[in-house]
Amino acid sequence: MDTIRDARLRVTGLGLVDFRNYETLNLAIRSPFVVLHGDNGSGKTNLLEALSLLSPGKGLRRAAYGEIARTAASTATGGFSVRARLAADAPEDEPTDILTLVRPDEGTPQRVLRIDGTTARSTDELLDLLRVIWLTPSMDGLFTGPGTERRRFLDRMVLTVDPGHGRRTVDYEKAMRGRNRLLADDRLDDRWLAGIERQMAELGLAIALARADLTARLAGLLDAASASPFPVAGLDLQSGYEDLVLEGAAVDLEDQVAERLARRRMVDRAAGRTLAGPHRGDLVVTHRAKAMPAALSSTGEQKALLIGLVLAHARLVEASSGMAPVLLLDEIAAHLDPGRRAALFDILDGLGVQSFLTGTDAALFEALDGRAQMLCVANGAVT
């Protein structure tokens, strides 16, 4: 796998079976810029969703598998499959084949991942091949919505530079649910609780420190991009540990967190949940030039701030992993003036990433003339 990790892989083919509104699709991809244009509801975002499943997790819509499977899918399986072909910049390297499929007929719907015909132990293995970043219209309310969405956004950014982050967050949530159940059931066995709280302290601190590291590195890249046509975001990470300063030896911090959890058992029991930890963290974003919270900025400014963040994140992914990420940008051009659209395309070109962009009007992508593969999407077909 190390030889694959060192290569800069691009998606060169996409195949779908019973995925959303696509009965079957076999698409050859020949460019680092791919524009998917067509009417609303034609299936453009569905293609981006399929590509987002080339990363761990539930994809850009976080949809249940039953929602993804085509309604007219075969009753024998009721599932779907996404197959991607990846090729490196070096033409002598063998292409890599990824197949991710779901088989609800086998009981509980389960995602199966195969890489070059071999079943993977975990979808985390996808991070050895690709790092996928997306920006969708549903994220437009990121700065004004609940902290849950910002934490999810932050954790996806961390995952693309720290592949172990996903497992830590899953294990932390599992341990926290176990502690909450023990407290709710009045099972106050000190040995059990102390063991769980130690695990929560270790995992929680690792999550908080990984978020803090990414935020600091991202802020540095945003500073360096101060001449960008997109406004620079100020970032302030709230760890979720209230007044605890995340400095010093990790083992000492873990001791402090475990002690706090032990002291607050009755408070958390009364609240019905754990009141401090990374699950309570938040990313506070400001419009730096205007010295105002992003949540109070105009809709257009919030979109521009978000684009600037995503571009800085793409730079960070390449700098930290050596892998140029794949960007999925849904309806990205609709709210940008012609100058900013052209600037965005030039920045993407300079980053060397592979970008998939959608829009209802092909004219929005005129500045990409000669650089992009233009594909028209209509009724589950691509031409």
Q: What pLDDT score does 369 carry?
A: 86
User: HEC states along the chain?
Assistant: CHHHHHCCEEEEEEEEEEECCEEEEEEECCCCEEEEECCCCCCHHHHHHHHHCCCCCCCCCCCCHHHHECCCCCCCCCCEEEEEEEEECCCCCCCEEEEEEECHHHCCCCEEEEECCEECCCHHHHHHCCCEEEECHHHCCCCCCCHHHHHHHHHHHHHHHCCCHHHHHHHHHHHHHHHHHHHHCCCCCHHHHHHHHHHHHHHHHHHHHHHHHHHHHHHHHHHHCCCCCCCCEEEEEECCCCCCCCCCCHHHHHHHHHHHHHHCHHHHHHHCCCCCCHHHCEEEEEEHHHCEEHHHCCHHHHHHHHHHHHHHHHHHHHHHHCCCCEEEECCCCCCCCHHHHHHHHHHHHHHCCEEEEEECCHHHHHHHCCCEEEEEEECCEEC
On whether residue 180 sits in a domain, the answer given is yes
Q: How many domains does the chain have?
A: 1
On whether residue 119 sits in a domain, the answer given is no
Q: What pLDDT score does 319 carry?
A: 93
Report the CATH number that the domain containing residue 239 is assigned in CATH.
1.20.1050.90
On whether residue 67 sits in a domain, the answer given is no
Q: What is the pLDDT of residues 170-215, one digit of tens each?
A: 999 999 999 999 999 998 889 999 999 999 999 999 999 999 999 9
Q: What pLDDT score does 5 carry?
A: 43
Q: What pLDDT score does 2 carry?
A: 40
On whether residue 198 sits in a domain, the answer given is yes
Q: What pLDDT score does 3 carry?
A: 38
On whether residue 246 sits in a domain, the answer given is yes
Q: What pLDDT score does 76 carry?
A: 53
Task: Identify the domain containing residue 197 by its residue range.
Answer: 143-298
* Positions of the chain with pLDDT lower than 70, given as ranges: 1-7, 72-78, 90-93, 104-107
On whether residue 330 sits in a domain, the answer given is no
